[in-house]
Amino acid sequence: MRTFIICLNLIFCWGMAGAQLFQPVDYPKTEFRNPLAIPISLSANFGEIRSNHFHMGLDIRTQHRESLPVYAAADGYIARIKIEPFGFGQALYIRHPNGYITLYAHLNAFNPALASYVKKKQYELEKWDAFFDIPAGLFPVRKGNLIAYSGNKGGSQGPHLHFEIREYPGDINLNPMLFGLPVSDNTPPEIRKLAVYDRNKSIYEQSPVFYPVKHAGSQYTLPLSLIEVNTTSVGFGISGFDTQTGSSNPNGIYQAVIYDNQQPVSGFRMDHISYNDTRGINAHIDYRTKAMGGPYYQLLFSLPGYDHSIYKQVNGGYIKLSDEKIHDIRIELKDAYGNTSNLNFKVRYRPGQPVNTLFEGKNFYPFMVDGFESEDCAFYLGERSLYDSVHVAYGAVDVNTAGVVSRLHHVGTPSVPLQDSITVRIRITKPAGDKSHVLMQWFSRDDEEVKRVEWQGDWATASFLSFGDFQLVNDTEAPQISFPGIVENANLSRSSRIAVLVRDNYKKIKNFRATLDGHWLLFSNDKARAFIYDFDEHCLSGKHELRIHVEDEAGNVSEAVLHFTR
C-alpha cells in the first residue's frame, strides 16, 4: 500500500512538473548588495514596458535627490564606461568573477580617481560621448566600495539610479529581482482588462474585443459567465501591472501563463533578454491598439515573426476551439517573489458568418524578402522586418513646399511596427542643385527624422525603422551657433561655465567640435540641450579664443569664434 501511494505521488509530481512552462531560476541570492545606502524603492522594474524597448534593469529611487553615493554591488573591477546625451547618460560597468556584470547609469559623476581617468581618455579620443573598455585590474573594487554618485543624466526624467545585472559573456540582461536584493514585495500583480484576438487573422488587421474584469483579492473573473467567439483559434492579452509593497507605482509583470483546460498553452517571463532583442517589445504588446490611443495590452501568444521571443509555447501556443466545447481558461500572473493572481473564465466557439475585410495594398509576410516599385518610389522589406503579415498601402501626392524636391510618398501606417528597417528609394523630381545636401525625410504625426542618402542616378536610398510619409528635402541651411549671456571679449573670471546653443532647421547635428587656443576642449551635451564647458585646468587665467565648428546631417557647416578673458 505504501509503495502504491509513493507511485501515485511520483506520478502527481511528474504531472505538475510537466505542466510548468517555466522552471525556477537558480541565481545566487547573496552575491549582490543594494548599490545605494538607502532602502530600495523602485520606480521601474525589469521588463517594464517602454517605447520600443523593454526596461532592462531596476530604477531605484534616490529620494528626489542627486549625487547620492553609489557602491559596488559585489567584488570585481570596473570594465567599461559609457557616456552619451540620451540613454544611460553616464554609466559604468563592473565585471565580477562569478560571471556577471553590473551596470550603474544616469550618474552625475564617477569617483575622483575614475573621473580623472575618464576625462583623460576623452581628451585622448577628442570625444565627449564615448564608449570604451578599461583594462582589467586598473580599477579593482570590493563589495561596498564607492564607485560613483547618482544623478539624472541621459534619458532620465528624474533623479534615480538605473541598475542592471548581466550574464557574461553575451551581455544578456537578467532580472535583478531574482538575486535576493532587499526589496519588500508581498503584493500580487493587478489585472485591469482582457483582450480577445482572432489568431486566424493578422494582429494588425482585426478589431480585438476588450472585457473589463472584477476581482476579490488576487482572484479575477469576467462579468460574463461565457465568452463566445466566431473563430476556431483564439488568443488573449491582458492589461495590467505589478506593484511593490508600500508603493502604488505601476511596474512590469514578471511572468504570465495561460492554461486551457488546466494545460499550459503559452506564457512569457521577463528574464534573460538581450539589448539586441529588446525592440521585440513591439511584438509583445498590441502595438496597433496602443498606437491608436489605447492602453498597453501584453499578448499571451507569440507573433509568427517574433525572433528571440520571450515566450514559451506548447503546440505553437494556439487555443483551438473547433470542438465547439466550453474551454476553461486560466491566466496566471506572477511577480519575481511568487505573488500570484489568476483570471478565470470560459470560452467557446460559436460558428457564424465570417467577416472578410478587404485591405488596400500588397500583402507582406514575416521571413520573406519582398518589395514594391512605382515610377518614382520603391520600398523593400527584409526577412526580419515584420512580426506578422500585413497589407502595406502606398500612395503619392505632389507638394509645393519650399525645399522639397520629390513627391510625398505614403508607405504603410506607423501603427504597424517594424522589427528591422525598411529600405526606401525615392526619385528626385525637382531641381536640387548640389545633390549632396539632399536628405530623405520621414515623418508621422508629431515625429520626424532625416537621413543622408545614397544616390544611384536620380534615385536616393535610405533606411528607416517605421512606416510613414517620406520625401526628399534639399537642406542648404547651415546650423546657427550662439553664446547665450556672453558677448565678445567678455570677462568670464567669475563664471563657472560656458554654454553654446546650436540650432538646426532639421534638428540633427552630426558633429560638434570646440577648440580653445587651438586645442580640443571638452564640452558635454546632456539630453542634447546646450553644449556645456565647465571651467577647469584646461582654461587658465588670461585671454583666450574659443572656436566652435558644427556640421548638420546634410553637411552644412557653421563656425563661430568667441574671445574672452579668464
Per-residue pLDDT of the chain (566 residues; tens, 9 = 90+): 444 444 434 333 333 334 689 999 999 999 999 999 999 999 999 999 999 999 999 999 999 999 999 999 999 999 999 999 999 999 999 999 999 999 999 999 999 999 999 999 999 999 999 999 999 989 999 999 999 999 999 999 999 999 999 999 889 999 999 999 999 899 999 999 999 999 999 999 999 999 999 998 899 999 998 999 999 999 999 999 999 888 888 999 999 999 999 999 999 999 999 999 999 999 999 999 999 999 999 999 999 999 899 999 998 899 999 999 999 999 999 999 999 999 999 999 999 877 778 899 999 999 999 999 999 999 999 999 999 999 999 999 999 999 999 999 999 999 999 999 999 999 999 988 889 999 999 999 889 999 999 999 999 999 999 999 999 999 999 999 999 999 999 999 999 999 999 999 999 999 999 999 999 999 999 999 999 999 999 999 999 999 999 999 999 999 999 999 99
Neighbours of 365 (CB within 10 A): 16
Dist. CA 375–CA 383, nearest whole Å: 24
The region, left, alpha or beta by phi > 0 then psi within -120 to 50, assigned to residue 324 is: left
Residue 206 CA neighbour count, 13 Å, CB half: 21
Burial of 293 (0-12, 13-18, 19+ CB in 10 A): exposed
Span(s) in the chain for CATH 2.70.70.10: 42-178
CA distance readout (Å), 293 to 236, 355, 527: 19, 25, 27
Neighbours of 240 (CB within 10 A): 25
DSSP one-letter string for 351-404: ---------SSEEE-TT--EEEE-SSEEEEE-TTS-SS-EEE-EEEE----TTB
- CATH T-level assignment (fold) for domain 480-565: Immunoglobulin-like (2.60.40)
Architecture of the domain delimited by 42-178: Distorted Sandwich (2.70)
| 277 Cβ contact list (under 8 Å, min separation 6) | 307, 308
Is 320 strand, coil or helix?
strand
- CATH numeric code, 362-474: 2.60.220.30
Cell of residue 222, nine digits: 469576467
Q: For residue 247, what pLDDT is reported? A: 83
Q: For residue 19, what pLDDT is reported? A: 65
Span(s) in the chain for CATH 2.60.220.30: 362-474
pTM for the full predicted model: 0.93
How large is the C-alpha radius of gyration of the chain?
28
Do you find a cis peptide bond into 182, omega within 30 degrees of 0?
A: no
Amino acid at the residue 412? G
Dist. CA 89–CA 130, nearest whole Å: 10
Span(s) in the chain for CATH 2.60.40.10: 480-565
Distance of CA 316 to the CA centre of its chain: 27
| 187 Cβ contact list (under 8 Å, min separation 6) | 242, 243, 244, 245, 335, 339
φ and ψ of 290, to 5 deg: -65, -45
Dist. CA 307–CA 555, nearest whole Å: 37
